[in-house]
Chains A and B, each alone.
Chain A
């Protein structure tokens, strides 16, 4: 099962720039000027939203092509997901160890 999962994961990761083909935003995730156009105003909460600056907003890295940043974002995502699970496993194993010896 592991090898099959890795195969699928690699294929999907290689194909990830296909996700860039659509210029359409997701429904409900429009730019602010969309509201200005449709409603004639931007709802206050949306205009004054407190957003925490993210290091790689919208999966695009400054000065890099769309495809390259998308690939890098995908890889970073993979590393983070795996890394966090890996650390969790280590923590769980350590806890069980200390329980066992106590």
Chain B
């Protein structure tokens, strides 16, 4: 889901940065309220975990691959703003240091994987908190919603930006991106994200109920 440079039009780049910028500023403020000497190792470890699990590329039928993101776990433990900023930081390092995701597409990648993932996980988890499957569903919904945003952003490119009938940026239409991206995340990577979120959440929780740092 890491969109590279050249896949989205300059208008999309500017729009996504304009939307993301105030959210980053506000999110950083919210992070500051939670980040201290005590929570640093926890938020640091969870964010590092997000970086690492994104390196586990899982092949699926059809010749493509994907990975979990880890935003859901941070969001249900520390709240959606911390999830958003932490995963944004991970995506920034990936884009700048490893060329994974374009710098021009960074805002879009943050809006999809970090923002949408964190907030959808947080609300799903809040709604069904007492159910055993809550962390799984939070993870599943998080990554599927993220893939929806990516599919939308990519799928509208050939609709708006063409030259002599040829698409200038990402060439495949909405129907294709929805089926390929959202479909594969519903069937495969959503399950992976769900299992990851539930396994780690349950392990951290142990016998101790109500251990969330989210208040």
Answer yes or no: are A and B bound together in one complex.
yes
A78 and B48 contacting across the interface, CB-CB below 8 Å: yes
Q: Residue on B with the closest CB to A54?
A: B99
Number of residues on chain B facing chain A (CB within 8 A): 70
Determine which residue in A41, A43, A48, A73 has the highest number of CB atoms from chain B within 10 A of its CB, and name it.
A43
Q: Residue on B with the closest CB to A7?
A: B203
Q: Name the prevailing secondary structure of the A interface residues.
A: helix
A28 and B5 contacting across the interface, CB-CB below 8 Å: no
Q: Residue on B with the closest CB to A78?
A: B48
Q: Residue on A with the closest CB to B33?
A: A92
A57 and B166 contacting across the interface, CB-CB below 8 Å: no
Contacts of B169 in A (CB 8 A): 43, 45-46
Query: Given A19-B57, A21-B59, A85-B40, A28–B98 Cβ distance below 8 Å?
Result: no
Check: B55 CB closer than 8 A to any chain A CB. Answer: yes
Among B173-215, those with CB < 8 Å from A are 177, 180-181, 184, 200, 203-204, 206, 211
A77 and B57 contacting across the interface, CB-CB below 8 Å: no
Q: Mark A32-59, 1 if CB is under 8 A from B, else 0.
A: 0001000101011111111111111111
Check: A68 CB closer than 8 A to any chain B CB. Answer: no
B32 and A16 contacting across the interface, CB-CB below 8 Å: no
B49 and A26 contacting across the interface, CB-CB below 8 Å: no
Q: Could you tell me the distance in whole angstroms from the C-beta of B36 to the nearest C-beta in chain A?
A: 7
> How large, as a class, is the contact surface on chain A?
35 or more
Given contacts A9-B48, A73-B98, A77-B94, 19 further A-B contacts (CB under 8 A): A8-B200, A9-B49, A24-B57, A26-B1, A28-B154, A28-B181, A39-B171, A43-B167, A44-B168, A45-B169, A46-B169, A50-B104, A53-B99, A56-B99, A57-B98, A76-B97, A77-B52, A81-B93, A85-B89
Residues of A whose CB lies within 8 Å of any CB of B are 1-2, 4-6, 8-9, 12-13, 15-16, 18-29, 35, 39, 41, 43-59, 70, 73-74, 76-78, 80-82, 84-86, 88-89, 92-93
Residues of B whose CB lies within 8 Å of any CB of A are 1-7, 9, 31-32, 35-37, 40-49, 51-53, 55-60, 62-67, 89-90, 93-100, 102-104, 150, 154, 161, 163, 166-171, 177, 180-181, 184, 200, 203-204, 206, 211
